[in-house]
Structure 1
């Protein structure tokens, strides 16, 4: 096959490209330029897509003896990922930009362009496995559960999965670094990048404030309706948040308080005790299936955050939406996050959380 290897400049994508070459494929390395103002050097381990990363990717490609190109998708990344991220927070939701990037950039923008240029597939350094099942290719969790990235790949549909390779899914991260060192890759000990790549200093609230400005509003007790403080914008808060609330604690009973709701239209943040955070009903929209859509009520495992635990659940798909009933309550589930459904290790699909609640 003719394969585009997405090369971020990190150790994982380097080994993924090498393994595809070892497997006998015709491989071309592609680095995605996603930042309009890439810094020369990383500001921290959080950043990615810098000039340094592009250079690291090019050196790996040179060592492998494969062609290497930089594709500029910065404008599309800004529109489909960054602007979407800001708009979601402005609306009082908590998005996962990595899922949106996989959906809109790596497995739409990159894959579509690769196919248009005559390539057969795309390979990335994600930790997940593709298994040939009776009904076609299936997406499964990685062997290394600590590094498993199947959650952020839950947005792939069957057609995208048919043209995707994840060569690292059967190996632990420790082994990948050893393999990179044995291959002579200078990136073997390079630190991993972390979410969110376009906020390299990790200050999400500051990033959003610069984009949206300050909009003073009230912090309201979710039970009594009493105003217990003020805030500079609902975009600085997410369900489950405890720190940085700015509460007048002299008016409280000493028990910890959390964000239990964000009412963006009324510019209010609802505050409550931890017992108000637990939910066992999750409603989802923007459904994406990695294979056939479930029919009727099905038993699944549900995961509501990238590094969260899988919870046994029942799911019902109806009228383009999914309702997930969790067997146990989960705390801090916010609209805008994604719920990814599993059958064993297989990814069934995903949905964007539109609402939560408690079963009667």
Structure 2
């Protein structure tokens, strides 16, 4: 029993010594400077002529701070000047003070240019130094919506011209289509916070509309450009079907179902066809558009976009009703209706033409369509 007690005491002593060593290792020595101050700035944009920095000394025991420009850099971080420059002194009253610094004092003007500043003071013989970087911001913000090629929606590109201290004298808006297009001014006037309307159907799918907003304040001008892509408003529904030599078999595109041509009336839209155009030659497989259904040849890109506005604007004056020799990848825009009702529009692609034995009897065609 005594052996166990001695062992327990030894373990406890070891743990105590380890804890003391950890406390000693984690101990941090703090130097009490006796004061502190905090720096803030109201900001600077390329339309502003100056920026104001403010000091807050909570202990209220500093009377002044010296300000030094350490360096200035361009938008890519390249140093423009690293020659230290004395910018003067900020006098503090009741712990507060400020200084207004001009662009020329800071040595910066363009967007994303920056100036590194040093603020120094002393208290009871102890020096205290803090740093602040001022960066030139873009005074113009542009908010771009997701513009799609649809007829039932007007989109708005919102913008604001907001320098920090200067007053805006004028705002202009220009637009162009494509990077190589030419800007044309839009009718104003525009407010400092405003918007323009964009209708997707005024452009083509794949177009990029560039919106250029320019603001002036005194002798200064700033411009910002935002690209607005025109995306397709794609048909959302997708169906697939297979047709073969089954007697009277057809497909109803509106209700997405196989039907019997003997009883379906004008609900039969697409029917399988196969023939030997040359005696002894290979079989040709295709399909026919029945009743009110019409077809217009289209492209892979048309099928990928499946853009509703473009499909509904298709010219059906040269429509066909027969594709006797189809190939996988063939694309057709279609429309169909029931009686005197409205047309239903869509786009279809032949996904496979099957000729297992190379004869008519076991051939089939597979079609996918969007509507």
- Give the shorter-chain TM-score range: under 0.3
The structure, 1 or 2, with the larger RCO (C-alpha pairs under 8 Å, 6+ apart) is 1
TM-score (norm 2): 0.20
TM-score (norm 1): 0.21
More helix by share: 1
**Structure with larger Rg:** 2
